[in-house]
Every structure is written in structure tokens, then in C-alpha cells.
A and B are shown apart, each in its own frame.
Chain A
Amino acid sequence: MNRAGTGSAPAVEVRDLHVTLGGTPILTGVDLTVAAGEWVTVIGPNGAGKSTLLRAVGGLLPAGPAVTLCGTPLRAMRPRARARVVATVAQSPVVPAGMSVLDYVLLGRTPYIPPLGRESAADLAVVHEVLDRLDLAAFHGRELATLSGGERQRVFLARALAQGATLLLLDEPTSALDIGHQQEVLELVDQLRRAHGLTVLATMHDLSIAGEYADRLVLLADGRVVAEGPPAEVLTEELLATHYRARVRVLPGEHGPLVVPVRPH
């Protein structure tokens, strides 16, 4: 569970990534480095390519030689090996009908279960440990579909943790949650990151929340990185006005700048 990145190699290294989907260029020369143990959040307007970038890093898109994870080129990893290094929580994960929480979290052990075999006692032990840690032990027999949004998000996270990966990719992890559950889930992610040396690469729409939790922000616009650095350097009224076409005030906050939308005249 608690494997650190290979030596000092960054957890994620993206060099000049180009992705074209259906003839439309989505990413045009993206560079990105995420150090082991770091939390980097990608922000940017709709259609900037945030999700595509995450998919490419997670191995869901052919990314060519551009992506390296923990010192190993993504291209050289077999799917099972990749799934032990990087775990993704999709923006709106599929909720299989009739599946229990236990079975769903157990899916996270797929990269450790022989292709045609069954789960071992060790796999079950990992799953129970993760369920305990996320306060889900009481839910193990419940059907996933009967859980509330906040509980469900914890279960999605639990599946990703059961993968035992050091790199966690979170695509809009809180977009379906109310503000209380947003905080609950992100605090949980941060605790897990600190306790287990996880690296987090996320995408988010709420800029204040993005800035409060991330070590660094990457602002993506039109398929390229237009700004990157600590939240205070990226969340500026000028940058947000240019790339989001938004009129905002940036106020100093306890854990990072707070972005407040202001109605245009």
C-alpha cells in the first residue's frame, strides 16, 4: 500500500504532450511535472483539456512517449503494472446495478488478481483495511446505488486506494457534492496523501477550493499550460480574466487566495 516513488524520479513527468481526438487537437504541447508526494490541481475553462490530460496520464489515451510515471515511460508499462502505479477516480464513475460496496472496492484489486483467477485473502484484507480507514466498514454489504452522494464518493476513493497505487488521479472529485461533503472528501484525500505519501493530480472547477488544497496549480487553456505555480501566483484577477473571461475578485484567505465572482457591470 505504502510504496514511495522510485527514488527521486517525479511521480508524473509530461513532456510536450499532444493529443488529437476525432481530428480536433485537444492538447498541444503540454509540459507538467508532479513531484512524489505533491498535490497538483489542473484548472482551466471548460474544454481546456483538463480531463484529457488526466486520461493521458492515467494511460486511458495513447500518449506516445510523452508521459513518464515514477521514472518509467507509460508506454513501457503493461496495463496491470500501470494499474498498480496509478489509480483514477473518474468524474462520474459508473455505478453497476446490484453491486455491493465490498465487491466494488474489491474491483480495485483487479491488477493483483490473476487474470482468470479469484481474489486472495490478502486482497480481502487490503479491502477491509481501506473500508475501515474510510469509515465504510458498516456499508460493506450495502448496494452502491443506495448510498448518498458523499458516501458514494468515499467508496469511489476506496476503490482507487485498494489499487495500492502511489499516484491518485481525481477528475472533478467533488463536482457532485454539496460544500460540506466537498470539504469532507478533500480533507480525507489530503490526510491519506500525508499518511501514505500519495501523489495527487486533480482537476477542479472551484478555484478557491482548488487553491486551498493544492501545493501547485496548473492553468490549462486551449490545450496548453498558460500558468503554473503556487496558488497565489496562478489565481490572479488578470490571469482569470484573460483565460476564463470572468470578472473576479481575489481575496487573501487562510489557506490560499479566495476567488469570488463579481457580476460584470
Chain B
Amino acid sequence: MTVRSTAARPVRPPAAAIPGGTPRPAGLRKRWLAAGVLAVLVALVAGVSLGPVSLPPGSVAVELLNLLPGVHLDSGLTAGETAIVTQLRLPRVVLGLLVGGLLALAGGAYQGVFRNPLADPYLLGVAAGAGLAVTVVIALGGVTDPLAGLPLTVPMAAFLGALGAVTMTYLLGAAGGRGRSPATLILAGVAVSAFFSAGQTYLLQRHSDSIQQVYSWLLGRLATAGWHDVLLVLPYFVLTAVVVLLHRRELDVLSVGDDEATGLGLHPQRSRYLLIAAASLGTAAAVSASGLIGFVGIIVPHTVRLLAGSSYRVILPLSMLFGGAFLALTDVVARTAAAPAEIPIGVVTALLGGPFFVLVLRTARRVLS
């Protein structure tokens, strides 16, 4: 490229990139943050209102406000309807928000840590590792309900499986040496995924008595979610969110590569290990709570990147908000589209997410060019 070629092209005036003219560094703009919070609130009200018994969204919103300390409003709902809101639907929606937020946040973090736009909990084999570990616990350990009884067994097993898988993927991907490309890592992830999935299939075949339990868990557990599940995921959510969000600026620095990041005074390896551990913990918590839900971890961060900006200071917090909203709304579709039957939520995320992402890709390209 030469200066001449740049000058010959009709280039937007530089100030156009920053409305208002004052140069500001990349960061989360208030309107995007507001949009993210709004999406979560919409998902919350829609998720609680819609179902076999449809409730008026206005009354639901009032009922949700009543949950805040010191608020006592008349929602006009009967005691039975209030119970549906607070005991049945709300925990399910909240769990959807937490799981979706975790998967999208973990996906965004992996993409930054590996400097690879294709990285996500599924392609890296993390979810398969967690899945195998949970299958082992259910099939061999005789745990009947993944989240009952021994609350720490399943999440811990999932975490170890997730960490084991991401370590294997990283080592395999790094085996290519210095000349490795982004594709090497993804290929390694595919290999690790296949390996763990094969292990899982074998186990299930040998322990066919637990197939039912494992599958009902694999295909999404949001259906039976109660407050107990929410409380179980919450600490992992908080831990993952805090660690990942605190490192959002470091992820921007890491985008220039390890050498240059070291030159800028960072410990790239230290940040990387910490972020991998946090993202894997989040994935493991999401997987142990709700089974294998694909696509959220790659689609949501990319949509945010295309629409709101490529800085991790923007991608990570918005992925968390929009990821949560996306999964909670997907769950609405999962339980209403074929009512009274439920479609597994993982199926819906892929069915809706795929075309949606294509749409975003096409629109964003048009807007950007």
C-alpha cells in the first residue's frame, strides 16, 4: 500500500469516525450499555409473561418490581399467577440470563486470549470436556440429578473436564510451533472435541441405564430450573464476570501479540492463564447447569463486535448482557413454538442463531463498506 492509493480512494473524513469531533478512546458508550440493559429487561419480562399460561406483561413487570425491597404495588395477578411468576418462570428466565451471559462472556474472552475470532467454548473442546466429565459423574458415580444432592460434584467435575480440554487444545495447537495459524488451534479443538465426545458416547453405550438422565441434561436443563439452580450458578457467574471484565483492557493490549504486550509491561502468560481459567470455569458452570448449548459463545461476541466495536472493553460487557438476553428469549421460543412440547434449547439457539448471524454479517458489511 502507498500513500497515493489511499489518497485516490474516497476516504471518509477522519472526524466522521467519532461523532461530535472530540477524539475519544474506544470504550463502552452509554447508549450501548443502555441497549444491553434494556435487552435484559425485555427478555426478563417476555420470558416471565409468555408460556402455557400467558400473563399480561404489564402486570408481570409490576410483579417483578415487587420483588425489589421496599416496593409494594398491586399487580392484579392472582396468588396462583404470582406463584407461576416467582417460583416457576422467574428462576428459569434468570438461569437463562446467567447461562447465556456466561457462554457469551467466555466466548469473547477465549477469542481475545487466543487472538482467534473462531474461538468459542465449543470449538475449543471446552464444552465437550465438561460434558464428558459430567457424564462420567452421572453414569459411573450414580448421581441421579446433576444439580441435586451433591451440588459441588457436577460443577467441579465439569470445571476439571473443561480445563483439561482447553489445556489439551492449547498444547495440541501449540505443537505446530511458531508458524501455527489460527486454524491450527481450531483444528486442535475439533480433535479434542471429537475425542471427548467419543468417550462420552462410549460411556453412554456401556451405561445405557443412565442415557435418559444424561440426555435430558445434555439437551438443556432450563426446563426444570428452580431457584436452587440459580443459586448454584450465581457464584461462578460472579467470579467469571469479575475476572474477565476486569481484564477487558488487557485483552485489548494482548491483541498486539505476546512480544509487544511484554514490551508494554504486561505479563501475557499470566493474564492468559487467569482468563482461560475464568472462562473455563464459566463454561463449566453453564454446562453443568443447562447442558450443551452451542452457538451463543461465538455468535453473540461477533454480533457485538460488528455492531458496537472491536475493543474488548465493548465486546465483553455487551456480550454478557446480550448473551443473557439472547438465551432467555431463545428459551421463550423453545417452550412456546411447539407447545405443549418443548424444543431443546440448544436446537433453537442454532436454528435462530445461524440465520441471524448471517443477517448481521451481511448488514454489517454493507454498513461498514
Which residues of A are in contact with B by a Cβ distance under 8 Å? 55, 58-60, 79-84, 86-88, 90, 93-94, 96-100, 102-103, 106-108, 110-111, 113, 115-119, 124, 128, 138-142, 146-151, 163, 178
- One of A58, A119, A147, A151 near B25 (C-beta < 8 A): A119
- Say yes or no for B247: interface residue by CB 8 A criterion: yes
| A93 to B3 CA separation, bound complex (whole angstroms) | 19
Q: Are B246 and A100 within 8 A (Cβ)?
A: no
Given contacts A58-B263, A93-B256, A96-B255, contact A140 B23 (CB under 8 A): yes
Known: A102-B25, A140-B23, A149-B1. A60 touches B266 (CB 8 A): no
A99 to chain B, nearest CB (A): 7
Residue B6 is within 8 A (CB to CB) of chain A in the complex = yes
Chain A CB within 8 A of B367 CB: no
Q: B18's contact among A94, A96, A141, by CB below 8 Å, is which?
A: A141
Q: How far is the CA of A59 from the CA of B258 in the complex (A)?
A: 12
Q: With a CB–CB cut-off of 8 A, which chain A residues contact B262? A: 59-60, 79
Contact partners of B11 in chain A: CB under 8 A: 146
Residues of A within 8 A of B68 (CB): none
Name the A residues within 8 Å of B255 (CB-CB): 94, 96, 99
Query: Counting CB contacts under 8 A, is B180 at the interface?
Result: no
Further 9 A-B residue pairs, CB within 8 A, beyond A60-B259, A113-B249:
A60-B263, A90-B263, A94-B257, A102-B25, A103-B311, A111-B265, A141-B23, A149-B2, A150-B3
Q: Which residue of B lies closest to A108 (CB)?
A: B264
| A117 CA / B23 CA spacing, docked (Å) | 20
Judge whether B1 and A107 touch: CB under 8 Å.
Answer: no
Please report the C-alpha to C-alpha distance between residue A72 and residue B317 in the assembled complex, in whole angstroms. 41
Most buried by A among B17, B23, B26: B23
Interface residue from B247, B259, B309 paired with A116 (Cβ < 8 Å): B247
How many residues of B are counted as interface, with CB atoms below 8 angstroms from the partner's CB atoms? 37
- Is B23 a contact partner of A107 (Cβ separation < 8 A)? no
Given the complex of chains A and B, what is the CA–CA distance between A97 and B5 in angstroms?
A: 20
Contact of A83 with B14 at beta-carbon distance under 8 Å, contacts A103-B252, A103-B311, A113-B249 already known: no
Q: Which residues of A contact B266 (CB under 8 A)?
A: 79, 110
Q: Which residue of A lies closest to B178 (CB)?
A: A22
Question: 1/0 per residue B236-251: CB within 8 Å of A?
Answer: 0000000000110110
- Complex interface residues of chain B between 1 and 16 (CB less than 8 A to chain A): 1-3, 5-6, 11, 14-16
**B16 and chain A: residue at smallest CB distance:** A141
- The answer to whether A110 touches B265, judged by C-beta atoms less than 8 angstroms apart, is yes
- In the assembled complex, 17 residue pairs joining A and B whose CB atoms fall closer than 8 Å, in A order, are A79-B267, A83-B265, A99-B26, A99-B311, A110-B253, A111-B265, A113-B249, A116-B246, A116-B250, A118-B27, A119-B25, A141-B17, A148-B2, A148-B3, A148-B5, A150-B3, A151-B3
**Please, what's the 1-or-0 string for B24-52, where 1 marks a CB less than 8 Å from any CB in chain A?**
11110000000000000000000000000
Compute how far the CA of A20 lies from the CA of B18 in the bound complex, rounded to whole angstroms.
48
Q: Does B260 contact A (CB under 8 A)?
A: yes
- For B213, list chain A residues within 8 Å (CB): none
Most-contacted residue by chain B among A86, A103, A149, A163 (CB, 10 A): A103
Q: How distant is the Cα of A102 from the Cα of B26 in the complex, in angstroms? A: 9
B310 at the interface (CB under 8 A from A): yes
A61 to chain B, nearest CB (A): 10
Q: Could you say which residues of chain A place their CB within 8 Å of the CB of B260?
A: 88, 90, 93-94
Chain B neighbourhood of A147, CB < 8 A: 1, 6
Query: Shortest CB–CB separation between residue B147 and chain A, in angstroms?
Result: 33
B207-257, CB < 8 A from A: 246-247, 249-250, 252-253, 255-257
Return chain A residues, CB-CB under 8 Å to B309. Answer: 98
Chain B nearest CB: distance from A86 CB in Å? 8
Contact between chains at A99 and B310 (CB < 8 Å) = yes
A82 to B10, CA, bound (A): 42
CB neighbours (8 Å) of A178 from chain B are: 2
- Which chain A residue lies CB-closest to B250? A115
Nearest A residue to B249, CB-CB: A118
B265 touching A80 by the CB < 8 A rule? yes
By a CB distance below 8 angstroms, the chain A residues around B24 are 102
Question: B265 to A142, Cβ gap below 8 A?
Answer: no
Residues of B within 8 A of A128 (CB): 23
CB distance from B108 to the nearest CB of A (A): 14
Which residues of B in the span 290-326 have a Cβ within 8 Å of any Cβ on A? 305, 309-311
A80 to B250, CA, bound (A): 13
Which of A86, A100, A139, A151 counts the most chain B CB atoms within 10 A? Answer: A100
Bound Cα distance A82, B305 (Å): 33
Across the interface, B264 reaches (CB within 8 A) one of A102, A103, A111, A148, namely A111
